[in-house]
Chains A and B, each alone.
Chain A
C-alpha cells in the first residue's frame, strides 16, 4: 500500500524567508506526485505535480518541488514567502486502484504560517 508522510505538521516562518515543506512517500512502482494548497475555508487547489522527466517541478505562486527517487522524497520549496502563503499544504501520491482507475493518497498536511 502507498503512504505519504509529511514530516512537519506546522511550519512557522517570517515573511520573505525561504521555506521547505517535507514529504516522503512509499511506493514500489512508478508514481505521480502532487502538492495541493488549502486556504482557510476553501477546497484544495493544485500547486504542482510531478509526472516524469525533469526532477525539478515549478508550480504556481513561485513554489517548486524536487523529486528524489533514491530518497523517495518530494519536498516543496519557496525562496521567499508572503503573508498570503499562509495555508495548509498537502502532499499526495497517485496510486492505481485497479484497471485504469487511480486515486490519491494524501499526507496529513503541513500548516504554513507566515508571520510579519
Chain B
C-alpha cells in the first residue's frame, strides 16, 4: 500500500522558534510537495522537489525553506516561526513525468504558533 507519513499530527511552537516538519514516502517517487491548507483558501503549494537536492519554489515560499537529502524524505523548515504560519501542512508525493500521475498525500500536520 502507498504510504506517505508525516512526523507529527499536531505541533505547538512559539514565535521565533525554528520548526522542522518531516515527510517520508515509501513509494520510490521522484516528486515530493509541501502544501499549506487554510479555510477558504484551499491548498497552496509552498515548495516542491523533483529529485534529491533539487527544489523549486511554489506559490507561497516566503518564510519557508526545504531540504531533500534522500529520495524518500522531504523536510519543510520554518526558520523563525510566526503566528501567520499557523496552519495545516500537507505533504504529497508522485511519480515524475506525465501530469497524469496522481499525488499521494500524508495525513497532515496541524501547526499552531503562539
Contact = CB atoms under 8 A, between A and B. Distances in A.
B105 A43 contact: yes
A43 B4 contact: yes
A43 B45 CA distance: 15
Contacts of B44: 106
Interface stretch (B13-21, B74-82, B92-100): B92-100
Nearest to A52: B100
Contacts of A42: 107-108
Nearest to B6: A43
A93 B4 CA distance: 21
Interface SS of A by simple majority: strand
Interface string B38-51: 00111111001010
Interface in B85-107: 90, 92, 94, 96-103, 105-107
A112 to B, nearest CB: 15
Nearest to A100: B97
| Central interface residue in A36, A46, A49, A103, by most chain B CB within 10 Å | A103
B42 A44 contact: no
Contacts of B107: 41-43
Given A42-B107, A42-B108, A43-B106, A94 B42 contact: no
A101 B41 contact: no
B61 to A, nearest CB: 13
A32 B43 CA distance: 18
B31 interface: yes
Contact of A101 (B31, B90, B103): B31
Interface string A84-97: 00000010001111
Given A101-B50, A103-B45, A108-B40, 9 more contacts: A43-B90, A44-B43, A44-B103, A45-B105, A96-B99, A100-B96, A102-B99, A103-B58, A104-B45
Interchain residue pairs A-B with the least CB separation, the first 10: A94-B99, A102-B99, A43-B105, A108-B42, A106-B43, A44-B105, A51-B100, A32-B99, A43-B107, A106-B42
Interface of A: 9, 32, 34, 36, 41-46, 49, 51, 90, 94-97, 100-104, 106-109
